[in-house]
Structure 1
Amino acid sequence: MKSYFFLLAIFFLAFSCKPKKNMIYMSNNNFEQEVSQARYEGLRIQEGDVLEITVTALDDLAAKPFNKTTMQQTGEDGVVSSSMKLGNNEYQVTSEGYIIFPVLGSIYCKNMTKQQLKTELDTRLKQYLLDPVVTITHVNFNISILGDVREPGQKSSPTERLNVFQALALAGDMNDSANRTNLKLIRYSEETGKDITYTLDISEASIVNSPYYYLQQNDILYVEPDRNKQIAASTTNPNRALFVQILGVVLGLVTFVIAVTK
């Protein structure tokens, strides 16, 4: 009977000390196939985005009317509105998806890439300028990283070409207890008008082929803790309490039987 008790104890210890799997990024890979990186198609401009747009031309004087000099203007109530608190040559996309550009007026740019907006501006500016050069920079590229990472929160990216690994680096990387096979990417869909959740497995090398490998403005990346951490954190988990109670009853019965058979 002692041997049964010993085997039960060994089983319990083995179950509770289950080793952590998938600790290495992109560890699962079929090396017989070439891994090609997902194509970066650029950010899609959204409402609330701030774009820095500079126009130059062979004739500097002719290009000046197409560049803002200041946005620190006071409204009728004497207060500087948030839409006016922009740097030189910075434009905030309105809730309707427009930017108000000098001389050219309202330009719809929502869901455009920077290259598409540049092409649109080039076409319009050629009516006034010879060989205009348009430079566009995304000023406020923000994402949110939550869950089992070292530094969760909203992050501003210094680069617009941001993949999932670079995003995790902004949050100080994942903790050892993070589930690397079940990351959640939450992205707003203009087509459905709703947030859509995608699952990413960064333990697979094929993650670089995913259409969601590169992040977009206002994406939310949630890193789920592994099962062991979820159980440990759930001190009021009824299933855990029931498991402990059953285990206590079983060990008590085994101890009683051993004592009786002596």
Structure 2
Amino acid sequence: MKRYFLVILLVIGVLLNSCITNKDLVYLQDKGDGTESSLILNELPKPYKVQVSDILSINVKALDKELVGIFNPVESANNNMQNDAGLYFNGFTVDLHGNIEFPILGEINVLGFTIDEIETKVESELLKQYFKETAEIFVTVKLSGLRYTVTGEVGGTGVYTLFQDRVNIIEALANAGDISQTGDRKDVLVIRQYPDGQKIHHIDLTDIKAMKSPFYFIQPNDIILVKPLKRKSIGAGQTAIQNITTISSILSVLVSTYFLTRNL
């Protein structure tokens, strides 16, 4: 009997300790001395530098629209096709050498440049090679959406595109259905592309200090991977009620087994 009693206690202990608590679920908790509860994010993310395979949307404007028509041959098409496919076919893709092919100007190297730097570069080249200063041209350059991938313990895995300049990781996850109850918010992986290859980074989204992390704001082509909690791997319930139900079932089986073996 004592052996069965010890087994029962062990099972109960494991199941009760495997409950998913608020500390596992709540984002941006103050885990320090309370001074972080009103944390202000003073440091903005560094400007993104364009990489290979990025797609740029470049628009040249002037008082005389006919004057810049050659540089915007697909402007009307873009107005009717503002989606990933339209941007893919009508945007300027950065090739393996870091160049884009621009009308009249030919190849322009943009690898490692920020969006503002590319605007200045294109405008400068246009004024140098094609326009006069009196043309009063205006160049706008944007990334054709912030594209990222989410996989793992989330509501909806997949590749997403948001048409915003800045997106933090919580917004990105919310757009993918948020992290499920069995997802590990304390160790979310961000796989980021760099000129020399991909690197894996870790961020604890249950800690308010995550807002100071360089990976709090996502970048184009980021992969966000949410691992399952260890509790899920042992098949424990997510809540106390689920665990009580499991314990009751196990107790019922153990008691029945005990009396059956006793009567043999």
| TM-score with structure 1 setting the length | 0.74
Structure 2 CA distance, aligned partners of 1:35 and 1:57? 44
- Find out whether 1:159 has 2:164 as its counterpart: yes
Decide which of 166, 169, 176 is 1:171's aligned counterpart: 176
Decide which of 213, 225, 230 is 1:227's aligned counterpart: 230
Asked if structure 1 preserves the Cα contact closer than 8 Å seen for 2:151 and 2:224, the reply is yes
Identify the residue that residue 35 of structure 1 maps to in structure 2: 39
TM superposition shift of 1:46: 2.1
Asked if structure 1 preserves the Cα contact closer than 8 Å seen for 2:185 and 2:206, the reply is yes
Q: Tell me the SS of whatever aligns to 1:145.
A: strand
Distance 1:163 1:20, change over 3 A: same
Identify the residue that residue 142 of structure 1 maps to in structure 2: 147
Q: Tell me the SS of whatever aligns to 2:234.
A: helix
TM superposition shift of 1:66: 3.1
Structure 2 CA distance, aligned partners of 1:104 and 1:129? 15
Asked if structure 2 preserves the Cα contact closer than 8 Å seen for 1:142 and 1:155, the reply is yes
TM superposition shift of 1:215: 1.1
- Find out whether 1:206 has 2:205 as its counterpart: no
Count of residue pairs the alignment pairs up: 228
Q: Tell me the SS of whatever aligns to 1:232.
A: coil
Structure 2 CA distance, aligned partners of 1:10 and 1:114? 62
TM superposition shift of 1:176: 0.3
Cα-to-partner distance string for 1:109-163 (whole Å, 9 max, x where unaligned): 1222211111212222333243321112222532111111110111122323111
Distance 1:85 1:181, change over 3 A: closer
What letter is aligned with 2:30? N
Structure 2 CA distance, aligned partners of 1:230 and 1:132? 60
Identify the residue that residue 14 of structure 1 maps to in structure 2: 13
Q: Tell me the SS of whatever aligns to 2:140.
A: strand
Asked if structure 2 preserves the Cα contact closer than 8 Å seen for 1:67 and 1:102, the reply is no
Identify the residue that residue 196 of structure 1 maps to in structure 2: 199
Computed over aligned residues only, the root mean square deviation of the Cα atoms, in angstroms, reads 3.4
Decide which of 19, 23, 26 is 2:25's aligned counterpart: 23
Distance 1:155 1:228, change over 3 A: same
Q: Percent identity?
A: 25
Q: Tell me the SS of whatever aligns to 2:224.
A: strand
Superposition pairs of residues 4-83 of structure 1, within 5 angstroms: 6=5, 9-18=8-17, 19-21=19-21, 22-30=24-32, 31-33=34-36, 35-37=39-41, 38-69=43-74
| TM-score with structure 2 setting the length | 0.74
Structure 2 CA distance, aligned partners of 1:146 and 1:107? 35
